[in-house]
Every structure is written in C-alpha cells, then in structure tokens.
Structure 1
Amino acid sequence: MATAQAITTADYKLFPNPRNVHRVVFEHQVFVPHPYMFIEMESYYLKGRYSLFAAHRLSDNKAGQLATFELPEDEQKFKDRFVPD
C-alpha cells in the first residue's frame, strides 16, 4: 500500500511524511542521511511551503530523508540549523 504513495524522481524514490501539509517536491532540496531521525519541520519557523520525505537516493542506494522547500532562504535556514542526533 505504501508504494502507491511513492514518488519517483530522477534522483530519488520518495515516500511522503504523513505530517506533511504539502506533498509537493519543491525545487530547493536537502538530503540528510538519517532515515530514522525525527525532523520537526515546524521548529524551523520557515516562511514558505515545505515538505519532508523518506528518501532512497538512487545514485548510491543511500537511505535518508529529503526536505524540500519552496524558498531558497528556507533551504539555507534548514542547512544552518539542522543538527543530527
């Protein structure tokens, strides 16, 4: 059943986070190689729309999460503040 929700792009196979308000793959993206880490996107106080996906990177079969952002400044804010557990 989960595969019905999967989104495949040129770089990733993605599974939307059930907490997403938007299930859109936005232009600005950050891959984090921490598939089991809880990422609370609301705590970043982003200005634009965003989405989070469980991700399988096709180039190297690496599992992780892909955070996507509508605005480039939100992508940079996430990169600056993200600290893996």
Structure 2
Amino acid sequence: MNDQTPDRYVTFLGLDCDAKADRMMEGLARLMATSDSRWVGYFELKLAEKQRMATDNLHFIGSQINSLRSFMEEIDDQDALDLLWNIEHNCC
C-alpha cells in the first residue's frame, strides 16, 4: 500500500465492531441452547466450519447475515435483530 491509498478499515475506528460481534455470538449461543428451531442445526454446522477455518466473529456474522436474520425473526428477538442491523450497517 502506498502513502496515498486510504486504509479502508479506518471507518471502523470507534465503532467497536469486534465487541458487537462478540455480543452477537454470545447471544446466538444462548438462543441456540433454548430453541428447537431448524436453524440450530444449521448454525452448529456453520460454527464448526468457523472453528476449522479459524475465522473471527465479525467474518462469521457477515457471512451468515441472512440466516442470522431469519433465525432472529423466527424466534422474535428484537434486541438481537437490532444488534444484527447495527453490525450489518456499521461493521460489514
């Protein structure tokens, strides 16, 4: 990168995207533990892939945004949907 090429990640400064992603993943784990939704099995597989690929939480959320939204809508968790919206629009 030369001195005139802007750092595309500078826009993430001050947004605390990693902490938001961590909160989303903690919430996902809690919701999965108490739900019998078909999404639970799907996320179990995707989380195992995440671990094998050693990707971070923000990458996982960005890759699974539509599935996460569908799950959160199905279980009617507005707080999780709000956090997901914030991550999608500010961090992904």
Q: One fold, TM greater than 0.5?
A: no
TM-score range relative to shorter protein: under 0.3
Q: What TM-score results when the alignment is normalised by the length of structure 2?
A: 0.26
Larger Rg: 2
By relative contact order (CA 8 Å, sep 6+), the higher-ranking structure is: 2
Q: What TM-score results when the alignment is normalised by the length of structure 1?
A: 0.27
Structure with the higher fraction of residues in helix conformation: 2
